[in-house]
Amino acid sequence: MRPDPYLPGNGNAGYRTAHYDLDLDYRVGPGRLSGRATITATADRMLAEVSLDLGLFRVEQVLVDGVAARYRHRAGKLRIRPAQPLAAGALFTVTVRYAGAPRPIPSRWGDLGWERIDHGALVASQPTGAPSWFPCNDHPSDKASYRIAVTAHARHTVVANGALVSRSTAANRTTWVYEQPAPMPTYLATVQIGRYALVDLAAGPIPQRAAVPPRLRAAVAHDFARQPEMVTAFARLFGPYPFGEYAVVVVDEVLEVPVEAHGLSIFGANHVDGRRGSERLVAHELAHQWFGNSLTVADWRHIWLNEGFAKYAEWLWSERSGGEPAQAHAARSHALLATQPQDLRVADPGVRRMFDDRVYQRGALTLHALRLAIGDASFFALLRDWTQSHRHGTVTTEQFTTLAQRHTSRALDGLFAAWLYEPDLP
């Protein structure tokens, strides 16, 4: 694993994680978290030291393969020296016991990660917030399966990634256990805690549930009523839905934008109006389950593969649900971008502009230009091939452009050069 060119301080070389087993106990009132994290990994080479990303917690114990290990914890890194060096190719476990008050990780995009909210907690980690609540290898390409167990007061509902496999209550505290077998990057791991009502949005092969403030239950039922149709439509366009379930959490807070996580999405109360005023965002976050979550960027330079595809999914849903065709959205987007600075390369926007709206808009326009160039049949065959070939893996821009060329006899080098690598809007 190479350091991310945009965020070289995040992530750790020398090993690949396979599984995270997290046992968390959260006291909502004082905002205190006690955790035990067991990380299973494979050494890429002989390792005298293993490092993990971890925020401002008190580390109480570190074990490597069950044996106490020496460690240092400073500046967001937990550096561990096993009693014996780990051999290349060795499968090993690191267990960390830690405690403290989770604090979001400061970044150029604001505070990221575990955030206290009224009556609970909200976790949105993209791109660097995961160490705010568990020790990890915080690099988008290092994906693993997860078991997340969270204990909180019985009056709170807990939602995390994956399927709820058990829930048990003792002495007014409930433990919720979720399992996500599909490989997941750290930035998409999440825990949501609040006084939520659980609502079933759809049964069938892909269960869809929502955790919502009770006062918004009726409005959520209306605003997300077409989400099951979206899942069906996107499965036809993009290939099968990549996970075993899909959840939505509506927090009783104002969020600037919704946030995707692995197998679920988080919306603010401001995204629920009882009139489907944010339905394009419902489509956007759902599309991330294919583009970003199943297919995860190998490093953050390629973020248009997440955001451009999710933006284009908004336009596709519009034209397939009786709204404006994608061409109308594309024309409006192009006209808007033409009035803005022409100084961004979509395929390498730079760390300051990772989340610039122009990455989203120009990324979607790139896909629309490609669709017009090769035709609908080849374009959607390409998308299905793309999601199937790299299902649960990591992807780069070069992999996409190479695969696209295989779906047409028309030379695409000029199209991709203009749309992805030149700053001027084609």
Domains of the chain: 1-101+125-186 (2.60.40.1730), 196-289 (3.30.2010.30), 296-421 (1.10.390.10)
Report d(CA 267, CA 224) in Å as an integer. 11
Report d(CA 314, CA 39) in Å as an integer. 37
Report d(CA 54, CA 135) in Å as an integer. 5
Is pTM beyond 0.95? Reply is: yes
Report d(CA 85, CA 79) in Å as an integer. 14
Residue 353's pLDDT is what? 97
Q: What is the 3-state secondary structure (H, E, C) of 373-405?
A: HHCHHHHHHHHHHHHHHCCCCEECHHHHHHHHH
Question: Where does the pLDDT of residue 364 fall: very low under 50, low under 70, confident under 90, or very high at 90 and above?
Answer: very high
Residue 417 DSSP label: I
Residue 416 has, within 13 A of its CA and on its CB side, a CA count of: 17
- Burial class for 137, CB neighbours closer than 10 Å (0-12, 13-18, 19+): buried
**Strand 120-124 relative to strand 113-117: parallel, antiparallel, unpaired?**
antiparallel
Residue 1's pLDDT is what? 81
Residue 212's pLDDT is what? 98
With a cut of 90, say whether residue 426 has pLDDT above it.
yes
Please state the rounded mean pLDDT for residues 239-247: 98
CB neighbours (10 Å) of residue 325? 13
Residue 204's pLDDT is what? 83
With a cut of 90, say whether residue 233 has pLDDT above it.
yes
Report d(CA 297, CA 366) in Å as an integer. 17
With a cut of 90, say whether residue 252 has pLDDT above it.
yes
SS3 of residue 165 by DSSP: strand
pLDDT digits (tens, 9 = 90+) for 45-100: 999 999 999 999 999 999 999 999 999 999 999 999 999 999 999 999 999 999 99
CB neighbours (10 Å) of residue 11? 22
pLDDT digits (tens, 9 = 90+) for 265-282: 999 999 999 999 999 999
Q: Phi, psi at residue 397, to the nearest 5°?
A: -60, -40
Answer for the pair 134, 148: CB distance below 8 angstroms, yes or no: no
With a cut of 90, say whether residue 25 has pLDDT above it.
yes
CB neighbours (10 Å) of residue 5? 12
Q: For residue 157, give both structure tokens.
A: 């509902």
pLDDT digits (tens, 9 = 90+) for 348-357: 999 999 999 9
Question: Where does the pLDDT of residue 203 fall: very low under 50, low under 70, confident under 90, or very high at 90 and above?
Answer: confident
Q: Phi, psi at residue 193, to the nearest 5°?
A: -125, 130
**Strand 191-194 relative to strand 157-160: parallel, antiparallel, unpaired?**
antiparallel
